[in-house]
Chains A and B, each alone.
Chain A
């Protein structure tokens, strides 16, 4: 059974940084396509970033140059390093094995506020 567990969310001031983690079990992060998606309060889903099994990475224009997706194969964990955070980055962040098993984590809330 695939399980994805996000962590690392919290309250941060504008301009600050956070690193989100997505610990996986039941699948190997290094050989799967893994996606980050976010959802601002009361809004729809927004695609954020993807890392392919081969290591290629892509980002939404709204986060390009500020966010970095990566993985630690030894920990079977996906990361999202978020720098220069803005108020509009406030959202629940979900990791998912999309394309792939179709599984999602439960999400972690990031609040950017002074």
Chain B
């Protein structure tokens, strides 16, 4: 079974830039994994930020962007705001296996 890895925690200063990554135990993450990124705040449902590597929903703030960086999927936050403090999860799809979430990254804006 594939394992999806994320940084357990990251800290960014207000107005700063941070990149969260999403790796796979099976090798390089590609567009064929259709990477998703979700934001979740305590006590609330997840919110979809990015789908299929880099596509945004209408509610996704412009400061969030998705990409492939090296052999991982990446979520970059440029110009962090206090309200961006949350847990972030990536989701990868696998042919022949079920989709897998990463363990989540707790992002602190401090």
**A→B interface (CB under 8 Å):** 37, 44-47, 50, 58-61, 94, 96, 98-99, 101-107
Contacts and interface: CB of A to CB of B under 8 A. Distances in A.
Contacts, number: 49
A45 B36 contact: no
- Between A44, A45, A96, the greatest number of chain B beta carbons within 10 A of the residue's beta carbon is seen for A45
A58 B97 CA distance: 10
Contact of A61 (B47, B48, B98): B98
A61 B1 contact: yes
A51 to B, nearest CB: 13
A44 B98 contact: no
Given A47-B98, A94-B46, 4 more contacts: A44-B89, A59-B98, A99-B52, A103-B48
A102 B48 contact: yes
Interface residues of B, number: 22
B98 A102 contact: no
- Between B45, B89, B91, the greatest number of chain A beta carbons within 10 A of the residue's beta carbon is seen for B45
A47 B89 contact: no
26 contacts: A37-B46, A44-B87, A44-B89, A44-B101, A44-B102, A45-B38, A45-B46, A45-B89, A45-B91, A45-B101, A46-B101, A47-B98, A47-B101, A60-B98, A96-B48, A98-B36, A98-B91, A99-B52, A101-B57, A102-B51, A103-B48, A104-B45, A104-B46, A104-B47, A105-B45, A106-B45
A2 B100 CA distance: 25
B66 interface: no
